[in-house]
Amino acid sequence: MKTFRKMLKNNKGATAIEYGLIAALIAVAAIGAMKTVGTSLSGTFTNISTKVANPSG
């Protein structure tokens, strides 16, 4: 019975799992944001490149 009570009181594993899930969610959000910003930057650099190559147009 003492062992069972110790297992109920020991929440270190649960805390580690929660931190892991939080880190995973942050990573997914960061990847999504970077993809969006990357696509936007790619379009911006394409525009700049076109204007530098053809300044009269």
List all residues 6 or more positions away from 40 whose beta carbon is below 8 Å from its beta carbon.
none
**For residue 32, what pLDDT is reported?**
94
d(CA 44, CA 26): 27
Structure token digits, residue 41: 């930057």
Residue 48 domain boundaries = 1-53
**How do residues 7-33 score in pLDDT, each as one tens digit?**
566 666 678 888 999 999 999 999 999
d(CA 18, CA 16): 5
The count of structural domains within the chain is 1
Q: Where is 57: in which H helix or E strand?
A: none
Asked whether residue 40 carries a pLDDT value surpassing 80, the answer given is yes
The pTM for the full model equals 0.55
